[in-house]
Amino acid sequence: MGKGAAPANPPPPEEASSLGDPLGGERSGAPADGAQPVSPQRPAHSGDWLGAALHSRGVRTVFTLPGGQILPLLDGLRRAGVDCVDVHHEGAAAQMAVGWTMATGRPGVAVVTAGAGFTNALSGLADGVLGRQPLRLIAGRTDRARQGRGAVQDLDQLPVARALGSGVSSLPPAPEAAVADLLALWDSLDAAPPRAHYVEVTADTAWARVPSPAAPVTPAPRKRRAAPSAESIAEAQRLLAAAQQPLVLCGSGAFWSGAGIALRRFVERTGIPAITTSAARGLLTDRHQLALGGLFHGALALPMADCVLVVGTRFDGNLLFGAEPLFPAEQRLVLVDRDPAAATGGRRPDHFVEGDAAMALDRLSRGWGGGQMSDEWPKRAQTAVAASQEMWGVQADGHPAREGLVHPASLARTVQTVLGHRRLTVVVDGGDILTWSLPFLEARLPGSLLTTSTTLGTVGVGLPYAIAAALAHPDRLTVLITGDGSLGLAAMELATAVRHGVRLLVLVSNNGSWGDVRHYQLARLGPQGVVASIFGDIRFDQLAAALGATGVRVTDEAGLLQAVRRGAQSSGVTVVDVATDPDVENWLMEAMGTLGIM
């Protein structure tokens, strides 16, 4: 199997049930290209058994940069048939693992070495923690005999990961015990609410010889869902049935639950319109008659609702902490989540349903006996969404770019116009370009619209996300819309994309600056306050060509349209460097500082 056809991690047994949503792109596991059988004279080491253990738990792809402490583990993963996608920076490996979870709904795995390898991966781990994602970061560590003695790359890593809020585990030195612990850990994490977890493997554990085969790897237990109580479901039904203008807001937890089919059945049974946000975008296709899309447009309908069923998300900064203007004080809120802690932060819900999102939606629809919802409510909600869409179109058309430059909104609008009929994964990364893209993009499939979605606000994740998504779903065309500043943070991973044969179209909004920062500086500090936010014209088309990709430079709308059409036909990596107007600003970026979310 070629690198471009990297197999996706298969779903757990129940994910194919009537509650789940098939994400597509799964492929059976097989050894990566170039894998050679190890000489029978080579003694087995712990890495062989750790690799087999991970393979037995559905891991088929890991993202890595090699180092001495993890070489046995990488060797074992290769022998087990796991594809090791090598990167140029550990930060990219961790963010690719995050992108994998967002594209597939299943655990993404990064394997990095000790010391700086671990610290380079911390932003990805933090994103996994804040996003409550099933991320697994595995790192090497100096062998136990040298820890704390000033050995090269030695760092007390467990407390650092714990301080970020990650779960932490350190495998014991005995190979058999390490395998048993790893299997037990994987199974316990699968049964618990999604959580990022750090696993440490010391060099003495990884390199330990195994003179005879370890105990057979046990199969994974059947995945169990956390069922909500009948009483909590009944009370949620009562509150929704009493509402005249109810609404559903689904967040990432619904995506990790695979709740797409259950969500569609719920809205069709009840007639209640739905908003999807963060990783849940596309869980209900934006083209469904009861879909209100994401928060960009759905935010106009949200305050009009008198009761909101919030599924799988917390009232954090992305939701304005559950306060106005999104959530009026008199609005009734019903929260569904596997984690009771979700009900304790930000605004307290009027009713909490503890349990799996897919099961909760399924039981809410099965027991639905009708309600008092106004017949006009879905139409009113859709009218609000249409008004928002029109407003963004007017704003884009009403502030045209200067001659020789392209309006930043044109990137997303062109993608949607030219490619919107195809099976796409679209990734958006940046500040200014993010706000000019999301209003114009549809999400039609689960895991098909990936953005910086956690409150950490990490930029530079777009290219890692896009590579992971392209590997996970080789049947889709993957498009990355990114700012020039954001792409600069991970630009060397273009070589990773070329090396692993992914199919990828990259559109770079090149305005020569950190656009959102520059606009904020101008607004608050004046021209003299524009410091460290301008870096000039970087020719990403030329950089792409130097790294083995196809590079194209465009300076007008006609060139952009042609480049998108041609890039979509390519079987490799195409980078379109789009010269965009740095002076075009949208109202949302102006308002960000007044919303009190940062």
What confidence tier does 439 reach under pLDDT thresholds 50, 70, 90? very high
What pLDDT score was predicted for residue 290?
Answer: 97
How far apart, in whole angstroms, are the C-alpha atoms of residue 510 and residue 539?
9
Bigger pLDDT: 515 or 569? 569
How far apart, in whole angstroms, are the C-alpha atoms of residue 394 and residue 392?
5
Strand residue runs (E) in 240-399: 246-250, 274-276, 307-311, 332-337, 351-354
* pLDDT of 345 over the 80 cut: no
What pLDDT score was predicted for residue 25?
Answer: 32
What pLDDT score was predicted for residue 390?
Answer: 92
Q: Per the CATH hierarchy, to which homologous superfamily does domain 401-594 belong?
A: Thiamin diphosphate (ThDP)-binding fold, Pyr/PP domains (3.40.50.970)
The tokens describing 267, both together, are 């809205």
Average pLDDT over residues 127-152: 91
Q: Tell me whether domains 230-383 and 401-594 share a fold.
A: yes
What pLDDT score was predicted for residue 30?
Answer: 33
Give tens-digit pLDDT for 8-35. 443 333 333 334 433 333 323 333 333 3
What pLDDT score was predicted for residue 198?
Answer: 97
Give tens-digit pLDDT for 119-133. 999 999 999 999 999
How far apart, in whole angstroms, are the C-alpha atoms of residue 309 and residue 301?
14
3 to 82, 497, 558: CA distances (angstroms): 11, 10, 34
Bigger pLDDT: 156 or 590? 156
Give tens-digit pLDDT for 81-91. 999 999 999 99
Summary mean pLDDT of the chain = 87
* pLDDT of 587 over the 80 cut: no
Q: What one-character DSSP code corresponds to residue 213? A: P
Residue 107: asked if its preceding bond is cis (omega within 30°), the reply is no
Percentage of the chain with pLDDT > 70? Answer: 90
What pLDDT score was predicted for residue 213?
Answer: 56
Average pLDDT over residues 322-346: 89
What pLDDT score was predicted for residue 597?
Answer: 45
What confidence tier does 94 reach under pLDDT thresholds 50, 70, 90? very high
Bigger pLDDT: 593 or 79? 79
The tokens describing 151, both together, are 């050995």
What confidence tier does 37 reach under pLDDT thresholds 50, 70, 90? very low
Give tens-digit pLDDT for 165-203. 999 999 999 888 999 999 999 999 988 889 999 999 999
What pLDDT score was predicted for residue 113?
Answer: 96
Contact 3, 32 (CB under 8 A): yes
Per the DSSP assignment, residues forming a β-bridge with 85 are 63
Average pLDDT over residues 36-65: 82
Average pLDDT over residues 462-481: 96
Residue with tokens 């102006």: 590
CATH, domain range 3-210: 3.40.50.970
What pLDDT score was predicted for residue 33?
Answer: 39
What pLDDT score was predicted for residue 270?
Answer: 96
* Closest listed residue to residue 555, CA positions, set 563, 545, 547: 563
Q: Which helix (H) or strand (E) holds 168?
A: strand 167-170
Phi-psi region of 77 (alpha: psi -120 to 50; beta: other; left: phi over 0): alpha
Give tens-digit pLDDT for 385-424. 999 999 999 888 888 888 889 999 999 999 999 998 899 9
* pLDDT of 4 over the 50 cut: no
Kindly list the domain boundaries of the chain, sorted by start residue.
Answer: 3-210, 230-383, 401-594
Give tens-digit pLDDT for 506-554. 999 998 877 777 777 777 888 887 777 788 889 999 999 999 999 999 9
Average pLDDT over residues 225-234: 94
Average pLDDT over residues 474-483: 96
What pLDDT score was predicted for residue 34?
Answer: 39
* pLDDT of 146 over the 60 cut: yes
Bigger pLDDT: 573 or 5? 573
Query: What are 554-557's contacts with CB under 8 Å, separation 24+?
Result: 554/406, 554/578, 554/579, 555/404, 555/405, 555/406, 555/579, 556/404, 556/406, 557/406, 557/410, 557/414
CATH, domain range 230-383: 3.40.50.1220
